[in-house]
Chain A
Amino acid sequence: MGAIDAVGVSKRYRLDRKREVTALEGVDLEVGQNEFVALVGPSGCGKSTFLYMVGGFLEVSEGRILVNGAPVRGPGPDRGIVFQHFALFPWLTVRRNVLYGLEERGVPLEERQRVARDLITLVGLAGFEDVYPKQLSGGMKQRVAIARTLALDPEILLMDEPFGALDAQTREMMQDELLRIWGLRRKTVLFITHDVREAVYLADRVAVMTARPGKIKALVDTRHDRSQNAAALMASPEFARSVNEIWEIVREEALAAQRLEARSGDLGSPSRP
């Protein structure tokens, strides 16, 4: 039994009374305990939709998603989510953002203070506890979001293009940050990205999705020797091979997506609810 088991998952959106869009069609995916799986695919293929269904924010139209063997019924503390645009509460300071989930779950005061302190240190934001999110850079905001999510110590981390809104340098730094944190707090991670290098660099396995309606087209093992440093890993031939292999599939699907877009331009991609 995996941490996440998706079997024949489909998602349809109703556009109006007569028209329907199928965002996902028969997705099967198993993510093992403490495994890091990245999900890549052309934009609009429904990869975020899939993540939101695992998170319990959207309902499955067909099929089922099991988390640790139990069907998903809405969001839960076992699955923490991190969004692309951080979704921090701007009216709360860094500390209050990190404390939020602990307060809502009624964790005793002393424990919550300790957890928040540890996490803020873990993500490298010590000294910024009392500032508002507006005073932080994008990378720092995402660190707060990660700390806020880790506060409830979820078994599963769902990450929706978490570094997609960051500049290239910050993104690379955050990737290493994530690997460092993941090394310290081992968790199952489902990571959405459209950046193939990022997926290969971070993940144990990369699942490639087809254009809409999305399904899993290929699963590529990308478990690399993590003892070498990042630069050496990215320069290695096996890394290049994985990237190319996945790139080819994504490119094919991106072209297919463009054709699809051209044919049904009026439908567009279904708006997220």
Chain B
Amino acid sequence: MTRLAASGRYAPLLLVAAGWELAVLSGAISPNLLPRFSEVMATLWDLLRSFELPREIGVSLLRQMIGFTLAVVIGVAVGVTMARLRLVDRALRPLVTLGYPVPVVALFPVLVLMVGLDHRLQIIVILLGSILPTIVSSFNAARGVDHYLVWSARNLGTGSRRMLWKIVIPAALPEILSGIRTTLSLSFVLLVAAEQLGADRGIGAFALRAGQNGFYTGMFAAILTIGLMGFAADRLYLALMRILLRWQEQE
């Protein structure tokens, strides 16, 4: 029963695929605009088997992981420290507030001039785009820590330096981790944007090139792949979250 329910969760996707196939077959949508779903899947299979796509996926994932990991490590550290130390808060708050609404893509020309069109560019775009949301959500998470926990720890002998590691970070962890989850999805958006703006490798660049060359089944195969990559990353992350938060009370 539960297995049926689990597979039923993805039924809407099957419906969309079937609808897509039928819409093109029946002529409601011209095959010049949209290749059939089954053709896209066949191309996807070919591209996977020939290792053409896996190579691009590898390049993209490497960029995404480096940029995202850097953003998480630096972002959480900065956000939590801002929440605890007024001086750091004062120094960085204007930067964060001003930087938050600026889309990284707007900085793209400057970044190209600074680092050129190699891996570093995509990594920096992902890092810059992911770090501010991480800082803000970690800051809020650390600020929201129940002060009775901090008082209890102080009463039991924890000094203000150790408080961060012993109490603030573990207590804020659930919220920090769900903030990071949002950033994880965002990092894939940033990855593809960065690859389409200027890269010759990677899944985003592949999709763009396929589209420009009229290889539409290839373009759609790449787009599907991007979706699947984001989905798989999110599932993995959820599993990790469950392990890290096994102590957490369920609402």
Write the residues of chain A forming the contact surface with B, with a CB cutoff of 8 angstroms: 52, 55, 57, 74-75, 77, 79-81, 83, 85, 87, 89-92, 100-101, 104-105, 132-134, 148-149, 151-152, 272-273
Assess the B156–A91 pair: CB atoms within 8 A. Answer: no
Which of the candidate stretches B51-59, B69-77, B121-129, B146-154 sits at the interface with the other chain? B146-154
CB-CB nearest in chain B for A104:
B157
- Are A75 and B247 in contact (CB-based, < 8 A)? no
8 interchain pairs (CB within 8 A)?
A74-B154, A89-B171, A91-B173, A104-B153, A104-B157, A133-B249, A134-B248, A151-B156
B167 in the interface (beta carbon within 8 A): yes
Inter-chain contact A55/B155, CB cutoff 8 Å? yes
A273 to B247, CA, bound (A): 27
- Determine the chain B residues whose CB is within 8 A of the CB of A148 once the complex forms: 152, 156
- Contact of A79 (CB < 8 Å), options: B148, B155, B171: B155
Whether the pair A87, B151 counts as a contact (CB closer than 8 A) is yes
- How far, in whole Å, are A272 and B148 apart by their CA atoms in the complex? 11
B158 CB within 8 Å of chain A: yes
Q: A55-B151, A104-B156 are in contact. List 11 more A-B contacts (CB 8 A).
A: A57-B155, A74-B154, A83-B152, A87-B148, A90-B247, A90-B249, A101-B157, A104-B157, A133-B249, A134-B247, A134-B249
Knowing A104-B156, A152-B157 are in contact, say whether A57-B151 is a contact too (CB < 8 A): yes
Query: What are the residues of chain B within 8 A of A132 when measuring CB–CB?
Result: 246-247
- Within the complex, what minimum Cβ distance (angstroms) separates B159 from chain A? 9
Contact B155 A90 (CB under 8 A): no
Chain B residues lying within 8 Å of A134, measured Cβ to Cβ, are 247-250
Contact A87 B247 (CB under 8 A): no
In the complex, B170 has a CB within 8 A of chain A:
yes
Encode contact with A along B235-251: 1 for CB under 8 Å, 0 otherwise: 00000000000111110
Contact with A along B19-61 (1 / 0, CB 8 A): 0000000000000000000000000000000000000000000
Cβ-neighbour of A105 out of B149, B157, B166, B171 (below 8 A): B157
Contact flag A89-B158 (CB < 8 Å), given A83-B148, A273-B147: no
Within the complex, the shortest CB–CB distance from B171 to chain A, in Å, comes to: 8
Q: Which of A74, A83, A100 contacts B156 (CB 8 A)?
A: A100
CB < 8 Å A-B pair total: 70
Docked-complex contact B248 and A90, CB < 8 angstroms? yes
Binding site of B, secondary structure by majority: helix, strand, loop or mixed?
helix
Partner of B154, one of A57, A83, A91, A92: A57
Closest residue of chain A to B167 (Cβ to Cβ) is A89
Task: Name B residues whose Cβ lies closer than 8 Å to a Cβ of A.
Answer: 146-149, 151-158, 162, 166-167, 170-171, 173, 246-250
Question: Which residues of A sit under 8 angstroms from B153, Cβ to Cβ?
Answer: 89, 100, 104
- Once bound together, how far apart are the Cα atoms of A24 and B170, in whole Å? 35
Shortest distance in angstroms between B241's beta carbon and chain A's nearest beta carbon?
13
Is the Cβ of B247 less than 8 Å from the Cβ of A152? Answer: no
In the complex, the chain A residue whose C-beta lies closest to that of B146 is A87
Contact B155 A80 (CB under 8 A): yes
| Closest chain B residue to A106, Cβ basis | B157
Which of chain A's residues have a CB closer than 8 A to the CB of B154?
A: 57, 74-75
Q: Is the CB of B148 within 8 A of A85?
A: yes
Cβ contacts under 8 Å, A149 to chain B = 155
Give the docked Cα–Cα distance between A159 and B53 (Å).
Answer: 64
Measured CA separation A101–B154 after assembly (Å): 9
Give A149 to B153 CA distance when docked, in angstroms. 10
Contact, CB under 8 Å: A81 / B152: yes
In the complex, chain A residues whose CB is within 8 Å of the CB of B249: 90, 133-134
A contact residues around B147 at 8 Å (CB): 272-273
Q: Which residue of chain A lies nearest to B152 when distances are taken between CB atoms in the complex?
A: A87
The smallest beta-carbon distance between B175 and chain A, in angstroms, is: 13
**Chain B proximity of A97: nearest CB distance (Å):** 10
Complex alpha-carbon distance, A79 and B147, angstroms: 18
B248 engages A152 (CB within 8 Å): no
User: Are A75's CB and B151's CB within 8 A?
Assistant: yes
CB distance B155 to A89 under 8 Å? no
Closest Cβ neighbor of A105 among chain B residues: B157
Give the shortest distance, in Å, between A88 (CB) and chain B (any CB).
8
CB-nearest residue of chain A relative to B147? A273
- Nearest chain-A residue to B162 (Cβ)? A104
Identify B157's interface contact among A77, A81, A133, CB under 8 A: A77
* A87 and B149 alpha carbons, distance in the complex (Å): 5
Complex contact B151–A91 (CB within 8 A): no
Q: Provide the bound-state CA to CA distance between A55 and B157, in Å.
A: 13
Task: Give chain B residues whose Cβ lies under 8 Å from the Cβ of A52.
Answer: 151
A105, B246: Cα distance in complex, Å: 28
Q: In the complex, A62 Cα to B248 Cα: how many Å?
A: 42
A151 and chain B: residue at smallest CB distance = B156
